[in-house]
Amino acid sequence: MSNQISVGDASPGCQKVDPILVADNVSRQFGGLTAVDVAHVEIPRGKITALIGPNGAGKTTLFNLLTGFDKPTTGTWTFEGKNLAGVASYKVARLGMIRTFQLTKSLSMLSVIENMRLGAQKQAGERFLAALIRPLWRAAENRITEQAEELLKRFKLDAKRDDFAASLSGGQRKLLEMARALMAEPKLVMLDEPMAGVNPALTQSLLDHIKDLKSNGTTVLFVEHDMHMVRHISDWVIVMAEGRIVAEGPPAQVMKDQAVIDAYLGAHADIDLGTVSIKIAKDDN
Amino acid sequence: MDWSLVFGNAAAELISPTTAAYALAAIGLAVHFGYTGLLNFGQAAFMAIGAYGFAVSVLNFGLSFWQAIAVSMILSVLFALILGIPTLRLRSDYLAIVTIAAAEILRYVVSTTSLKDLTGGSSGLSGFATEFYAINPFPTGNYLFWPFDVTEKELWVRVFGWSIVALATILVLLMMRSPWGRVVKGIREDEDAVRSLGKNVYAYKMQSLILGGALGTLAGIVFVLPRAVQPGNYVTGLTFFIWTIMLLGGAATVFGPIVGSMIFWVLLSLTEGVLQGLVNMGVITFLSTDQIGPVRFILIGLGLMALVVFRPQGIFGNKKELQFNV
């Protein structure tokens, strides 16, 4: 089977036509446990890639490794051709690879707008001495605020602009964290379970936002358990189990893959898990 | 019993140089804890660096007043680097352990007999403020009105101390309203989130440690100008008084520490005066006059407990922004 994303047939660790992120031999051991052991993986540029797998498959650990939040036992990886192994997490972010967290990290005691402004890059006023001289950073601050307000409007958080992030609901915090990540205008957004804990009523708008990202040319890599979301918005699916990549390919093809059914879907292979969340969403309305 | 004297003494604490010094140290601690979330339990050490750095520079190296202040500030930055480099990459608890230990180490070092020629050992240092009083712009005389009436020397040290408090307040206000302040407040909330947004969290924590420490050092200088340098002043208890003052006023505020310091010193003076008066008049029979000193700290402690229960954000704090919940 051929597609426009991989070179040749889709198989675990296959080569991509235009990869943005390429990782080799990335492994992470916690004592005797090998949490991640990825021989080779490429993330296609400008596409939405889903990273799925059962609990404990090493998805979040792989995220942490790639973004510099954890140090691998072995491995190298490049982002847009730049070697990222051993690079500090904040430098990874500055290169345009921004992640979110499974447990939302909204800065509760900062207002929503301040959360957003914090996401912006290249604000001179964030330097120690420049901070004292307002004219040095006022223009940038105005530009950042404008950009933040626009994003808040898109994410329907503009009414909450001056509220503390602590007063937002769980789903709104997910939205805020995603919007904040976009302030940096990243080339690659890595979303760790963007749907976890989100009210089904918000699911659709979150899905739309992720699709918008793609149409703006941003590459998206996300970890998700919600099969409905994986099926409907991803262009490519990578399946992990026990630290390894066991399958990849377009969603329709991957869902039929015997390795995936064994590793992930197990006994529930014949149930479209997606229908569950759709049904709840309808009931809510 | 002269009650007007008791209340006069208490009111005089409002503008005393000691109140100014404690306010300054508490503003520094607010930068550390209230804004950045750094658990610094060694603010007494930064004050000791101010006191000793200043006094030793003047007495042993013959430096001028301003040079001695500059030397203290350089020492303060070095001390912050020594504390910060190994600990700021770790969890916040480690900074707490290291700062409290470093403060004690410093106190033992300055009071050791082998350094007697330099630091005066356990008897401390005095006579280093001659130049400070020589540059006093106020002519000899009595100034202000009861209960704040002071001599020209007392006026000069008050004007100097409170001017530094005012400058520090403006500095911290400007910093915290800037994008730099936004980043450190973000670090207080969740440093991984701030890191994921491309900020060098370690560098910001270091800058904050240096800034708050420098204010503590200035506080140490203001504190010793009207008195001698005594190693016994820089015990861990001093650090906890500074914490009390900061929490009293509100940790994430700039004016809180100033008002906190005023309340702290007025209450200490008032409880001492009132208890002394009541004991002398025979109203309180179960206490002797020597027991009053410790008892007032018990009362202050009860007051702090009440504060934590009923107003955890401090007097000026915003309950939504920061509570006493570490």
Average pLDDT over residues A54-58: 88
- Do the domain assignments include residue A269? yes
- A227 has pLDDT over 70: yes
Instruction: Among B179, B186, B196, select the one facing A110 at the smallest CB separation.
Output: B186
The residues with which A245 forms a beta bridge, in sequence order, are A240
- A49 has pLDDT over 90: yes
pLDDT given for residue B235 in this prediction:
96
Contact A97, A190 (CB under 8 A): yes
- The residue in chain B having the minimum alpha-carbon distance to the alpha carbon of residue A181 is B197
- The residue in chain B having the minimum alpha-carbon distance to the alpha carbon of residue A120 is B197
Average pLDDT over residues B106-131: 94
Q: Are residues A227 and A271 in the same domain?
A: yes
pLDDT given for residue A215 in this prediction:
92
Q: Are residues A83 and A32 in the same domain?
A: yes
- Do the domain assignments include residue A268? yes
Q: Are residues A79 and A137 in the same domain?
A: no
Q: Are residues A52 and A135 in the same domain?
A: no
Given an 8 Å threshold on Cβ–Cβ distance, is A94 in contact with B183?
A: no
- Do the domain assignments include residue B156? yes
pLDDT single digits (tens) B154-200: 999 999 999 999 999 999 999 999 999 999 999 999 999 999 999 99
Residue A156 sits in which domain range? 107-167
pLDDT given for residue A285 in this prediction:
43
User: Total domain count for chain A?
Assistant: 2
Residue A230 vs residues A51, A193, A274: alpha-carbon distances, Å: 9, 11, 9
Residues of chain B in contact with residue A88, where contact means CB-CB under 8 angstroms, are 200
Average pLDDT, chain A: 87
- Do the domain assignments include residue A1? no
**Complex prediction ipTM:** 0.87
Q: Are residues A212 and A241 in the same domain?
A: yes
- Do the domain assignments include residue A238? yes
User: Total domain count for chain B?
Assistant: 1
Domain boundary among A167, A185, A202: A167
Residue B44 sits in which domain range? 15-251
Share of chain B above pLDDT 70, in %: 97
- B225 has pLDDT over 80: yes
Q: How far apart are CA B33 and CA B39, in angstroms?
A: 6
Given an 8 Å threshold on Cβ–Cβ distance, is B195 in contact with A89?
A: yes
Q: Are residues A267 and A153 in the same domain?
A: no
- Do the domain assignments include residue B76? yes
Residues of chain A in contact with residue B186, where contact means CB-CB under 8 angstroms, are 107, 110, 118
Residues of chain B in contact with residue A94, where contact means CB-CB under 8 angstroms, are 198
- The residue in chain A having the minimum alpha-carbon distance to the alpha carbon of residue B210 is A128
Share of chain A above pLDDT 90, in %: 59
Contact A229, A43 (CB under 8 A): no
pLDDT given for residue B1 in this prediction:
66
pLDDT single digits (tens) B51-66: 999 999 999 999 999 9
Ranges of H-type helices in B88-151: 92-110, 116-119, 130-134
- A231 has pLDDT over 50: yes
- Do the domain assignments include residue A4? no
Average pLDDT over residues A117-139: 95
- B312 has pLDDT over 90: no
Domain boundary among A167, A188, A218: A167
pLDDT given for residue A281 in this prediction:
46
Given an 8 Å threshold on Cβ–Cβ distance, is A90 in contact with B198?
A: yes
Pairing of β A236-241 and β A82-83: unpaired
- Do the domain assignments include residue B291? no
Residues of chain B in contact with residue A89, where contact means CB-CB under 8 angstroms, are 195-196
Measured CB to CB, residues of chain B less than 8 Å from chain A are 171, 174-175, 178-183, 185-186, 188-190, 192-201, 207, 320-322
Q: Are residues A128 and A265 in the same domain?
A: no
pLDDT given for residue A275 in this prediction:
47
Given an 8 Å threshold on Cβ–Cβ distance, is A108 in contact with B178?
A: no
Is A128 exposed, middle or buried, given 0-12, 13-18 or 19+ CB atoms closer than 10 A? middle
Q: Are residues A211 and A111 in the same domain?
A: no
- A161 has pLDDT over 90: yes
Average pLDDT over residues B107-123: 94
Q: What distance in Å separates residue A278's CA from the closest CA in chain B?
A: 31
Residue A229: pLDDT band (50, 70, 90) is confident
- Do the domain assignments include residue B213? yes
- Do the domain assignments include residue B306? no
Q: How far apart are CA A122 and CA A36, in angstroms?
A: 34
- Do the domain assignments include residue B237? yes
Residues of chain B in contact with residue A143, where contact means CB-CB under 8 angstroms, are none
pLDDT given for residue B326 in this prediction:
37
Average pLDDT over residues B274-297: 88
pLDDT given for residue B320 in this prediction:
64
- Do the domain assignments include residue A9? no
- The residue in chain B having the minimum alpha-carbon distance to the alpha carbon of residue A63 is B196
Q: Are residues A98 and A128 in the same domain?
A: no
- Do the domain assignments include residue B326? no
- Domain containing residue A61: CATH number: 3.40.50.300
The listed range with the strongest mean pLDDT (B1-5, B40-44, B281-285) is: B40-44
The listed range with the strongest mean pLDDT (A49-53, A105-109, A193-197) is: A49-53
